[in-house]
């Protein structure tokens, strides 16, 4: 337990915080304190209560909806809104970031606090500030372009940059690096350190333990709504932290393939993918590779390297022009729609689970069947018992918890939602499965399970193309790694290659 | 791949999972509570009307006529609820049904086309109108709100142009029978008995599939059976006490059954919910959005035709005001019946019940001699209340998730 020194030693001091939802105690009697210039990492699996705790601190939950005290600079405060908290200097960068895709990047960044002049928006000042934010993360985009033209991870960066621009005493970062690349993460950390020196406190929520070593002064581990362990340094407690998080010994990432590689199942040659809005711009430039049965092929690169575009082109989901050829199991031709790609044996787990994967409001049964309804149907009607039997087998195979076909998917944790989507694609019995960032927003325990499932998929004679921004994940879970940089392939590596060499290729410094 | 279940902590993590699960469970209970609350509102209104009208409302005659009156709106409400589930809308229903009514009346009165071909051609015209909408929505990419708004104006205009805005009458006896005829009480009893047996058998069979899985199933089954017997008994009382089953209700029953099977059992129905919930994810799952939307609009088109036939048969003519506000009644019925304007949520059965509820209000107020102007006000308020409920549910849900 930290020494509860009186008053102003702490920027933030939470005492005995509890918050319950109908039937569940989400946060239970938690104490947490942050000194000026200190980074406190809060770690825990999904559902451990981290995000709820942060919402208590930052005014998302009004002061009378939870128990306990929130002290800022030693004074008890009762925030009724996020605005109240921000006025007091507490800024939350939430885990789920939403942008208005039709509004400009600049307007999105300063939504709710647009700079004004005589009642009108000061556009010049707005765009100058926005451009500064974009430069910070090295995003090349016009500040007046619609935010929807940015990729998901760029959108994330933009919102983080705008939050950092606010003047804060305490900043709360809720899994900020979930979809950031190494380089972007570095910049973010550099900025956090700069703020530290200015005496700003930081609560940093993460799933990634390597980040703790880099940035945290102290570590607080939560499980099931309670603080289960505290460490006074971010160094050297790796094993103990993981044990505290999951309440048992961690499993290790599955090793490389043990069997021999099969025959080639997909050959991509000289693929060029053009931007739908700017037909001269090549998002993927002259990419060729071969994927074999039984292989997990990693595709690594920074944001904007063209990985997702390449995957979309293979899957028939790209709206721009595509040149080159794709041969799947001996049959050549570019799929023109996801429908056709699925018929030819390709499946694709998309990057943004909520937006393009999960069909929310519908049941597990319907979600699993979404891509393969024909297999369990007659000409017109669905064979309900066949569908239930098949899907029940799949969710048990993938260990979805709880294994209830009639539950609505919204209710499941991130890891389980990802398994439900994996089940959707396994149901199509694909020859090639493309996984775009399969473990984003998935907690540690479930992450290893997903790696194991992917290995089991390829051991079945299928092939997996795994797109990932997570370098340790790519080096450990894949048999072979392709690296893209600005639309081109800039490197090919085998399992266990040095992270340094891969990063060099991904930043164009290879060869 | 099947590892032994891990030790305690994992299971406690599931306990954390059940936080949103419980919220969804509550939501579901509330939504099914909505069907109950709809029935309660219906009962309350009925009692109110019954007392205020000195016992006229709850007579076999009035109940029979009320249901017949509701039939046309019920058919189109079910249709529009399907489009709404897919995330689309149809504002042209009234005008489209009017144009179909003009076609039916012109065929019968001007060209002396016999009833059966006249009905078939009318339905075909309806399907064509639906195809016209789908051309613009799918082919060109204009939002269905705008496309059908254009239809709302244009279809009525075409009807006026053809008829010079005149009433076309009279239609043949066999044509008006399609809505105004009655199946006499004795065969009605037989049909109702058959329906009772079949529905009971279905319920028993379905619950046997799930009995081992859900402990509360027996209570639910009992509830369903009681409700079924009560409903059939009520209909038997109403139809037996007057002239029998109105033919219009036979249409409703058959269409209702077909649409119910379509939406709950068919690939089209399943995909409709998928498309309405998350169109992009549905597309990336290989569902052909354009094919399903096309089918949806064709189906709606066929229902224009059927509504046109029914309304013409009912009035024995095609009048220039035929179908005015029908789209609004249909959408209101669908919304009151639990269809969400955001897509992905709703049932055809709910929409039909919603239509009956709206008609009940109409009917009751007419019996009580409330002015037709005030009737509009009351209906508007009822719609507003239903939508407030919808909005409340959505807010409730996003807050909990």
Question: In the 3-class helix/strand/coil scheme, how is B109-144 assigned residue by residue?
Answer: HCCCCCHHHHHHHHHHHHHHHHHHHHHHHHHHCCCH
Q: Residue holding tokens 């699993």?
A: A368
Highest-scoring range by mean pLDDT, A140-144, A157-161, B119-123: B119-123
Question: For residues B387 and A105, which has the higher predicted lDDT (pLDDT)?
Answer: A105
What's the CA gap between A60 and A54, in Å, rounded?
8
Q: SS3 for A29? A: strand
In this prediction, residue B155 carries a pLDDT of 97
Write out chain A residues lying below 8 Å of B268, CB-based: 380
Which of B375, B377, B381 has the alpha carbon at shortest distance from B361? B375
pLDDT at A371 over 50: yes
8 Å CB contact between A32 and A8: no
Enter the tokens of residue A229.
């362990």
* Helices vs strands, H then E, count in chain B: 15, 2
Q: Do domains A21-99+170-246 and A259-345+430-511 have the same CATH topology?
A: yes
- Peptide linkage before B170 cis (omega within 30 of 0): yes
In this prediction, residue A252 carries a pLDDT of 52
**Domain regions of chain A by residue span:** 21-99+170-246, 100-149, 259-345+430-511, 360-429
pLDDT in tens, A35-44: 998 999 998 7
Enter the tokens of residue A303.
């944001």
Write out chain A residues lying below 8 Å of B85, CB-based: none
What's the CA gap between B100 and B121, in Å, rounded?
9
In this prediction, residue A291 carries a pLDDT of 94
- Peptide linkage before A402 cis (omega within 30 of 0): yes
In this prediction, residue B289 carries a pLDDT of 95
| DSSP 8-state class, residue A104 | B
Work out the average pLDDT over B200-228.
75
What's the CA gap between A261 and A479, in Å, rounded?
10
pLDDT in tens, B179-198: 999 999 999 999 999 999 99
Q: How many residue contacts between A and B have a Cβ separation below 8 Å?
A: 157
Write out chain A residues lying below 8 Å of B277, CB-based: 359-362
8 Å CB contact between B84 and B346: yes
8 Å CB contact between B152 and B92: yes
List, in order, residues 6 or more apart from A511 with CB less than 8 Å away: A490, A491, A505
CA distance A49 to chain B (A): 9
* CATH code for the part of the protein at A21-99+170-246: 3.40.50.300
pLDDT at B23 over 70: no
8 Å CB contact between B308 and B122: yes
Q: Which domains can be identified in chain B, with CATH numbers? A: 61-184+243-391 (1.10.3470.10)
CA distance A24 to chain B (A): 6
In this prediction, residue B33 carries a pLDDT of 52
pLDDT at B16 over 50: no
pLDDT in tens, B122-141: 999 999 999 999 999 999 99
Question: CA separation (Å) from A168 to A12, A87, A89?
Answer: 12, 9, 4
Question: For residues A127 and B301, which has the higher predicted lDDT (pLDDT)?
Answer: B301
Asked if the A259-345+430-511 domain carries CATH number 3.20.190.10, the reply is no
Question: For residues B21 and B322, which has the higher predicted lDDT (pLDDT)?
Answer: B322
What is the pLDDT confidence band of residue A404, given thresholds at 50, 70 and 90? confident
Enter the tokens of residue B345.
């949520």
What is the pLDDT confidence band of residue B209, given thresholds at 50, 70 and 90? low
Question: For residues B266 and B10, which has the higher predicted lDDT (pLDDT)?
Answer: B266
CA distance A497 to chain B (A): 27
pLDDT at A366 over 70: yes
What's the CA gap between B319 and B306, in Å, rounded?
17
Decide if A23 and B1 are in contact by the 8 Å CB cutoff.
no
Work out the average pLDDT over B165-182.
92
Work out the average pLDDT over B50-64.
89
In this prediction, residue A86 carries a pLDDT of 83
Write out chain B residues lying below 8 Å of A339, CB-based: 286-288
Lowest mean pLDDT among A123-137, A148-162, B6-20, B49-63: B6-20
pLDDT at B372 over 90: no
Most A CBs within 10 Å: which of B10, B19, B341, as the mutation test of the A interface? Answer: B19
CA distance B340 to chain A (A): 12
> Which among B16, B280, B345 has the least Cβ separation from residue A47?
B16
Decide if A411 and B24 are in contact by the 8 Å CB cutoff.
yes
Work out the average pLDDT over A39-59.
83
What's the CA gap between B170 and B105, in Å, rounded?
8
In this prediction, residue B397 carries a pLDDT of 52
Question: CA separation (Å) from A461 to A297, A408, A434?
Answer: 14, 32, 15
Which of A156, A152, A138 has the alpha carbon at shortest distance from A436? A152
Residue B347, phi-psi category: left (phi > 0), alpha (psi -120 to 50), beta (remainder): beta
pLDDT at A153 over 60: yes
CA distance A235 to chain B (A): 25
List, in order, residues 6 or more apart from B187 with CB less than 8 Å away: B244
Work out the average pLDDT over A328-356.
91
What's the CA gap between B378 and B323, in Å, rounded?
20
Average pLDDT across chain B, whole number: 86
In this prediction, residue A179 carries a pLDDT of 63
CA distance B337 to chain A (A): 18
Write out chain B residues lying below 8 Å of A348, CB-based: 284
> Which among A339, A362, A402 has the least Cβ separation from residue B273?
A362
Average pLDDT across chain A, whole number: 84
Degrees, nearest 5: CA angle A49-A453-A185: 50
Integer distance in angstroms from the first to the last C-alpha of chain B?
31
Write out chain A residues lying below 8 Å of B341, CB-based: none
Decide if B281 and A359 are in contact by the 8 Å CB cutoff.
yes
Which of B335, B333, B199, B346 has the alpha carbon at shortest distance from B269? B346
Question: For residues B110 and A232, which has the higher predicted lDDT (pLDDT)?
Answer: B110
In this prediction, residue B267 carries a pLDDT of 95
What's the CA gap between A80 and A71, in Å, rounded?
14
Decide if B265 and A384 are in contact by the 8 Å CB cutoff.
yes
Write out chain A residues lying below 8 Å of B30, CB-based: none
Most A CBs within 10 Å: which of B2, B13, B202, as the mutation test of the A interface? Answer: B13
Most B CBs within 10 Å: which of A340, A356, A411, as the mutation test of the B interface? Answer: A411
Compute the CA torsion angle B68, B70, B74, B80 (nearest 10 deg): 140
CA distance A147 to chain B (A): 18
Most A CBs within 10 Å: which of B22, B271, B285, as the mutation test of the A interface? Answer: B285
CA distance A246 to chain B (A): 7
Which of B380, B236, B234, B308 has the alpha carbon at shortest distance from B75? B308
Which of B110, B105, B138, B98 has the alpha carbon at shortest distance from B121? B105
Most A CBs within 10 Å: which of B286, B288, B291, B399, as the mutation test of the A interface? Answer: B286
Tell me what percent of the residues of chain A surpass a pLDDT of 90. 27
List, in order, residues 6 or more apart from A184 with CB less than 8 Å away: A137, A138, A153, A157, A177, A302, A303
What's the CA gap between B12 and B92, in Å, rounded?
53
* H or E stretch covering B224: helix B217-241
What's the CA gap between B310 and A56, in Å, rounded?
59
pLDDT at A463 over 50: yes
In this prediction, residue A96 carries a pLDDT of 67
Q: State which residue of chain A sits closest to B2, comparing Cα positions.
A: A397
β-pairing, A39-43 with A201-206? parallel
What's the CA gap between B292 and B279, in Å, rounded?
12
Strands across the sheet containing A226-231:
A90-93, A170-174, A201-206, A39-43, A218-223, A226-231
Question: CA separation (Å) from B52 to B49, B58, B65, B69?
Answer: 5, 11, 18, 21
Degrees, nearest 5: CA angle B253-B257-B261: 170
pLDDT at B400 over 50: no
Decide if B281 and A374 are in contact by the 8 Å CB cutoff.
no
Is the pTM value of this prediction over 0.90? no
Work out the average pLDDT over A79-104.
81
8 Å CB contact between B332 and B379: yes
In this prediction, residue B1 carries a pLDDT of 36
Neighbours of B400 (CB within 10 A): 17
Write out chain A residues lying below 8 Å of B19, CB-based: 21, 23-24, 26, 47
> Which among B6, B261, B274 has the least Cβ separation from residue A248?
B6
In this prediction, residue A85 carries a pLDDT of 86
Tell me what percent of the residues of chain A surpass a pLDDT of 70. 91
In this prediction, residue A6 carries a pLDDT of 44
Write out chain B residues lying below 8 Å of A343, CB-based: 286
pLDDT at B15 over 70: no
Which residues are registered as beta bridge partners of A346? A432
């Amino acid at each position: 337990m930290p020494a509860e020194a009186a008053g102003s030693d702490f920027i933030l001091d939470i005492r005995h915080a509890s918050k319950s939802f109908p039937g569940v105690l989400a946060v239970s009697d938690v104490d947490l304190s942050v000194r000026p210039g200190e980074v406190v990492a809060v770690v825990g699996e999904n559902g451990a209560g981290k995000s709820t705790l942060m919402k208590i601190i930052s005014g998302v939950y009004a002061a009378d909806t939870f128990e306990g005290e929130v002290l800022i600079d030693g004074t008890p405060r009762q925030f009724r809104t996020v605005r109240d908290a921000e006025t007091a200097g507490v800024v939350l960068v939430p885990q789920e970031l939403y942008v208005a895709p039709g509004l400009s990047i600049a307007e999105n960044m300063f939504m709710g606090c647009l700079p004004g002049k005589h009642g009108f928006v000061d556009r010049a000042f707005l765009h100058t500030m926005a451009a500064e934010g974009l430069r910070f993360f090295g995003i090349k985009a016009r500040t007046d372009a619609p935010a929807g033209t940015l990729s998901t991870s760029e959108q994330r960066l933009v919102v983080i940059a705008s939050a950092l621009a606010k003047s804060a005493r305490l900043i709360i970062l809720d899994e900020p690096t979930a979809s950031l690349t190494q380089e972007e993460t570095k910049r973010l950390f550099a900025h956090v350190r700069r703020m530290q020196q200015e005496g700003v406190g930081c609560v940093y929520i993460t799933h990634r333990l390597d980040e703790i070593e880099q940035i945290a002064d102290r570590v607080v581990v939560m499980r099931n709504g309670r603080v289960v362990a505290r460490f006074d340094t971010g160094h050297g407690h790796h094993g103990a932290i993981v044990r505290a998080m999951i309440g048992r010994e961690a499993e290790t990432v599955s090793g490389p393939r043990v069997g021999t590689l099969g025959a080639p199942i997909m050959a991509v040659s000289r693929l060029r993918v053009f931007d739908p809005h700017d037909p001269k711009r090549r998002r993927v430039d002259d990419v060729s590779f071969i994927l074999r049965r039984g292989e997990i092929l990693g595709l690594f690169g920074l944001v904007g390297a063209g990985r997702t575009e390449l995957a979309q082109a293979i899957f028939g989901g790209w709206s721009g022009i595509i040149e080159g050829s794709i041969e799947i199991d001996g049959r050549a031709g570019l799929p023109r729609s996801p429908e056709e790609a699925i018929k030819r044996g390709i499946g694709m787990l998309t990057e943004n689970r909520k937006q393009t994967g999960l069909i929310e409001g519908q049941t597990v049964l319907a979600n699993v069947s979404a891509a393969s309804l024909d297999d369990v149907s007659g000409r017109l009607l669905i064979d309900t018992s066949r569908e239930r039997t098949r899907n029940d087998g799949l969710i048990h195979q993938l260990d979805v918890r709880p294994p209830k076909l009639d539950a609505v998917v919204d209710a499941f944790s991130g890891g389980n939602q990802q398994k439900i989507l994996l089940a959707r694609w396994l149901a199509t019995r694909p020859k090639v499965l493309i996984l775009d960032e399969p473990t984003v927003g998935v907690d540690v325990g479930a992450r290893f399970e997903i790696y194991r499932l992917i290995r089991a998929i390829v051991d079945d004679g299928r092939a997996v193309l795994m797109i990932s921004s997570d370098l340790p994940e790519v080096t450990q879970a894949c048999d072979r790694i392709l690296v893209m940089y600005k639309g081109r392939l800039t490197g090919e590596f085998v399992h266990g290659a040095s992270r340094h060499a891969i990063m060099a290729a991904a930043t164009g410094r290879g060869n | 791949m099947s590892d032994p279940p891990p030790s305690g902590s994992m299971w406690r993590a599931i306990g954390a999972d059940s936080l949103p699960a419980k919220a969804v469970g509550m939501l579901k209970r509330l939504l099914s509570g909505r069907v109950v609350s709809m029935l309660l509102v219906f009962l309350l209104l009925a009692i109110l009307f019954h007392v205020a009208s000195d016992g006229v409302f709850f007579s076999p005659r009035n109940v029979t006529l009320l249901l017949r009156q509701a039939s046309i709106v019920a058919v189109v409400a079910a249709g529009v609820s399907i489009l709404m589930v897919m995330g689309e809308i149809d504002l042209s229903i009234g005008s489209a049904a009017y144009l179909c009514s003009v076609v039916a009346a012109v065929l019968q009165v001007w060209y002396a086309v016999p009833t059966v071909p006249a009905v078939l051609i009318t339905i075909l015209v309806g399907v064509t109108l639906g195809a016209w909408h789908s051309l613009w929505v799918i082919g060109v990419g204009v939002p269905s709100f705008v496309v059908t708004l254009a239809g709302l104006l244009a279809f009525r205009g075409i009807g006026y142009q053809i008829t010079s805005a005149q009433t076309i009458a009279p239609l043949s006896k066999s044509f008006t029978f399609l809505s105004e005829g009655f199946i006499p009480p004795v065969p009605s009893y037989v049909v109702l008995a058959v329906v009772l047996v079949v529905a009971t058998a279905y319920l028993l069979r379905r619950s046997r599939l799930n009995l081992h899985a859900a402990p509360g199933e027996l209570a639910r089954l009992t509830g369903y059976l009681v409700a079924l017997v009560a409903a059939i008994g009520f209909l038997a009382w109403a139809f037996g006490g007057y002239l029998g089953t109105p033919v219009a209700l036979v249409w409703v029953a058959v269409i209702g059954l077909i649409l119910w099977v379509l939406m709950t059992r068919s690939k089209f129905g399943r995909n409709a919910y998928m498309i309405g919930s998350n169109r992009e994810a549905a597309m990336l799952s290989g569902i052909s959005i354009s094919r399903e939307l096309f089918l949806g609009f064709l189906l709606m088109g066929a229902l224009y035709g059927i509504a046109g036939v029914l309304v013409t048969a009912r009035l024995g003519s095609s009048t220039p005001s035929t179908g005015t506000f029908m789209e609004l009644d249909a959408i209101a019925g669908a919304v009151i019946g639990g269809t969400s304007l955001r897509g992905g949520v709703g049932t055809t059965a709910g929409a039909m019940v919603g239509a009956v509820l709206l008609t009940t209000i109409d009917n009751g107020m007419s019996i009580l001699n409330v002015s037709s102007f005030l009737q509009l006000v009351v209906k508007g308020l009822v719609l507003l209340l239903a939508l407030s409920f919808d909005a409340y549910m959505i807010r409730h849900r996003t807050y909990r998730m």
